[in-house]
Every structure is written in structure tokens, then in C-alpha cells.
Amino acid sequence: MLRKAVVIAGGLGERLRPVTYEIPKPLIPIQGRPLVEHVIEILKLRGGVEEIYMSVGYMWERIKEHLGDGSRFGVRIEYIVEEEPLGTGGWMKLIDPFEEDFIALNGDNLFDLDFQAMYEFHRSRDAVATIALTRVDDPSEYGVVVTEGDRIARFLEKTPSPPTNTINSGYYIFSPRVFSYLPEKRKFMLERDLFPRLAEEGVLYGFVHEGLWFDTGTFDRWEAAIKKWRPISG
């Protein structure tokens, strides 16, 4: 199984202001609990994860104050602190490269994902990266993918006329080999600077899963998650 996971949670949460003037987005409530607790539950119960690395920046002390070392959630938590925003991929430059496959995910997304099936898929393709894919009615606000079989041939970030409704869910499995594909710059986006290169190299794969998925990045989507998310623990 996958023991390690990185939760990308350093964003400002600008689309949820004024709420995020007061609290960081990982602490917004979903059904009476902070969003980040649901994410930890997904990783622990669906993924078997034991070690979580929180990539944090904005109001990170509040997040650490709430989560601590993770022991009360049955995991070990460490913090990757960005002194300035480094994009969705900058955390990769702040850690020693992992020596095993690992999960990374956007901390504002909830997905009832079968990590075991995704990991078996990832290993069987010898992928450098596997993106969990889902389908939405309006894909224009998301990164969409064009696939050739299981391989992702093109990765298009938030295009106005998307050719498909299959999108990047924000949940990933990476091989340690990914660290050799990173751009030279310190601040970079997975979606714009890493995934297109992996697609060109033929080492980026897509795992389609139909489980419940919610992006909480806007008020409407946050409300939908509050109403419809089903906690993993029941």
C-alpha cells in the first residue's frame, strides 16, 4: 500500500472570501468538521496512509494548531511551510525526494476514491504519475485530459472550449522518478509545468473513477459538498 501522502493546502482561498480572511480553507466546515479532517479520513481509511505531509502557507499556524502531529487522527503529520506561494508544485522543491510511490492531492477536494485499485493501475503501467480522473457537466473551470487508451496524451488547464468532460480530480499517485522531471524554477504549477511534460514523455496515465467528488473552491461548490458528501467513516 501507499504509506505517504502530500496534501497541497497552501492556497489563499480567494474565492471563499470573506470567510478565508478569518480561517484558512482547510478549516472551513463540512458537515460539522473541518474540511482537512475529511481529507485525512479519506487518506487513512481509503488509502492506508500513515504519514501525511501538509504543504502549507497562508495561515499555516492555524492549521498546525488544529492538527498537531496527527496522533489524534491516527496518522503522523509533518509540515512543508512555504514562506511565499510556490504554486501547486513548489513543495516538491522543499522536500528530500521520496524513495517510494506516494499520493498527492489538492486539499480542497473530496473524493471517495479506491486508492488500492488506482495504485494497482499505476504500477501495472509503470507510470511516473497517475491522475485520478472524474467527469463533470461543466469542465471549463478545470484541467481536462485527452487520453489515448489509459495514457494521457494532452493535459489542458482550464480551456474555454474543452474537448472532453473528463477532468483532473486533483488526486495523484507519483513514482519517485517524478523528481527527475521537475522544472528548474522553484515556483511552478503541476498542471502547467509538470503534467504536460509527462504527457509528452508518455509516462502520464489517467485512472477514471466514478465515486463522489467535490471541489470546495467556490461558495456554490462548498454548499454542494456540505449537502451531498458522505463521510468515509459512515
Contacts of 216 (CB under 8 A, 6+ apart): 25, 28, 30, 35, 108, 109, 110, 222, 225
**What is the rounded CA–CA span in Å between residue 103 and residue 49?**
9
158 catalytic residue (yes or no)? yes
Asked whether the beta carbons of 43 and 52 are under 8 A apart, the reply is yes
| Residue 190 DSSP class | I
Ordered alpha helix ranges (H), 27-99: 35-41, 47, 60-67
**Number of H-type helices and E-type strands within the chain:** 7, 13
Catalytic residue, candidates 25, 44, 93, 158:
158
| Residue 98 DSSP class | P
**What is the rounded CA–CA span in Å between residue 29 and residue 129?**
31
Which are the catalytic amino acids? Answer: 158
